[in-house]
Amino acid sequence: MIQPSGDTHLLKVRNLNKRFGKGCTHCHSPNDLKNNDNRCPKCGSVWACIDVNVDLYQGEILGIVGESGSGKSSLVKSLYFDDAVTSGEATISTYHDGKANIFSVSAQQKRYIRNYMMGMVYQNPWLGLKMSFSSGGNIAEKLIASGTYHVGNIRERASELLLHVEIPVGRMDELPKNFSGGMQQRVQISKAMANNPPILLLDEVTTGLDLSVQAKVLDLIRSIQREFGVSMIVVSHDLGVIRMLADRTLVMKSGRVVEQGLTDQILEDPEHPYTQLLVHSLL
């Protein structure tokens, strides 16, 4: 494991396993499945994450790349407690001194961690935003969840956040369902940032956007990282996006991490055949 010198570790994930489906005698353990496949031919269950380890250091951007279905969204959704893990451990160094497995704390504690320590930008904006709430209302929801109740303070903070993502404050009372894809992602980013979380999870935040909009969103993410020193996990199937953002990268395939290291190193000298394929497709 490469640890950037001088940096302290914030989030540590060990042996995260996530299975969708009931499982059967044939797929009780992911290792029972042949050819490194992650789908059970007998019962159709999928091991979306298999023994995944992640280290996230203070202030870094960690990239997660992999083809469609490799388990990237399942991993970040597990970390945000949207989906319960099948097994595994995760600790946050600033939560109970990094001694509590956040996957096994109470539902109330999970809400606390999610509301005070994390922000999430979903691949699908319909999962991240209530489309029948105004943009300001969406931001307010996160602020209220993290203990800001004063209406004046909420509006002030929401304006400040929207300004930061270059959405005209005059549009604060509009519904995000009437916004363009790029704007919806920017509202999601401002909502995710509302509680100043130390950990930000970004899932395919630029996928499906025009190149020029994509560039703006990437700039925004970099400026947030520089300004607030947030630690981020950036998920993308696009190695170009990862190259622009991530200091270190994990490569996933069929639920497993098949390669990890400094992004530059992975791009220059990919070791795993699958990573080589990804890198070559970028050239």
Ligand X SMILES: Nc1ncnc2c1ncn2[C@@H]1O[C@H](COP(=O)(O)OP(=O)(O)OP(=O)(O)O)[C@@H](O)[C@H]1O
128 vs 198 by CB, closer to Mg ion: 128
Binding to Zn ion, residues 39-68 (CB under 5 A):
40, 42-43, 45
Tokens of 157: 């903070």
162 vs 242 by CB, closer to Mg ion: 242
Letters for 31-70 (x = contact with ligand X by CB under 6 A, - = none) are ---------------x-x-----------------x-xxx
Within 8 A by CB and 6+ apart from 40, the residues are 21, 23, 24, 26, 27, 33, 46
- Residue 192 near Zn ion by CB under 5 A: no
DSSP category for residue 105: S
In angstroms, give the least distance from the CB of 203 to Mg ion. 6
- Residue 78 near Mg ion by CB under 5 A: no
Please classify residue 281 by burial: count the beta carbons closer than 10 Å to its beta carbon, then call 0-12 exposed, 13-18 middle and 19+ buried.
Answer: exposed
In angstroms, give the least distance from the CB of 205 to ligand X. 12
- Residue 28 near Zn ion by CB under 5 A: no
Letters for 237-266 (x = contact with ligand X by CB under 6 A, - = none) are x-----------------------------
Percent of the chain as helix, strand, coil, to the nearest 5:
40, 25, 35
- The interface partner of residue 43, options being Zn ion, Mg ion, ligand X, none and the CB cut-off 5 to 8 Å by kind, is Zn ion
- Residue 202 near ligand X by CB under 6 A: no
- Residue 19 near ligand X by CB under 6 A: no
Number of residues that bind Zn ion (CB under 5 A): 7
123 vs 254 by CB, closer to Mg ion: 123
How many whole angstroms separate alpha carbon 54 and alpha carbon 79? Answer: 11
176: helix, coil or strand?
A: helix
Please classify residue 283 by burial: count the beta carbons closer than 10 Å to its beta carbon, then call 0-12 exposed, 13-18 middle and 19+ buried.
Answer: exposed
